[in-house]
A = this chain, B = another copy of it.
Amino acid sequence: MSGKLTAEPTRRRLTERQADTVRRLTEAAVEEVRETGSDGLTVRNVARRAGVAPATAYTYFASRNHLVTEVFWRRLSALPPVEAPAEPLPEEARERVVAVLREITLLVSDEPRLAAACTAAMLGNDPDVQELRARIGLAVRRRLRAALGARADRRTVDALELAYAGALLQAGMGHTSYGEMADRLADIAELIVR
């Protein structure tokens, strides 16, 4: 558990141009999956759409999974911070938690196929995916904690995270739409946050 960021030390800040390339790649991935389905989501396809050589795409993203996970991560970090009172009433806390869950559940819900791809991608083994996954988990936990304020004990947060992960998986499997899932999460949040 000691050397997680072995590859990071040499990592320099990206040029304007490079950051732009990365952005174009993530956007191209979304477009690609929207137009041709998650099977068409090929690193080479995405690279072509972004006007970049495949090898270049691989210099910024270690794997297909990494690319897809990055899409999710970007959307998540684009969310405005959760603002909530530090000592909310129970109903306030519940309401805010439901809002947070709904928000992150619907992050990719406009493109169900993208959502499914994201869920699958986040299960990858690549170190980069793991890193991003940890970041995503942390961000989710932070948002939940912020919504709960003083009512954020460990078990409550754990339970909510679990429910969220379940929603992601079930919706990713296609059993249930993301909208429905958000509603179901609201039900469960009412049980957990009391």
Contacts and interface: CB of A to CB of B under 8 A. Distances in A.
A94 to B, nearest CB: 13
Contact of A169 (B39, B155, B169): B169
A147 interface: no
Copies per assembly: 2
A-B pairs with the 6 shortest C-beta distances? A166-B166, A165-B166, A162-B166, A169-B169, A165-B169, A120-B123
A161 B167 CA distance: 10
Interface in A84-132: 116, 119-120, 122-123, 125, 130
Contact of A158 (B130, B158, B184): B184
A122 B161 CA distance: 21
Contacts of A188: 159, 162-163, 192
A20 interface: no
Contact of A166 (B155, B169, B173, B174): B169
13 contacts: A116-B123, A119-B169, A123-B169, A161-B166, A162-B167, A162-B184, A163-B166, A163-B188, A166-B166, A166-B167, A166-B168, A188-B192, A191-B191
Interface string A147-165: 0000000010011011111
Q: A-side binding surface: helix, strand, loop or mixed?
A: helix
A27 interface: no
A169 B121 CA distance: 12
Nearest to A122: B173
Contacts of A120: 120, 123
Given A123-B169, A159-B191, 19 more contacts: A119-B123, A120-B120, A120-B123, A123-B173, A133-B173, A137-B175, A159-B163, A159-B187, A159-B188, A161-B166, A162-B166, A162-B170, A162-B185, A164-B166, A165-B170, A166-B166, A166-B167, A168-B169, A188-B192
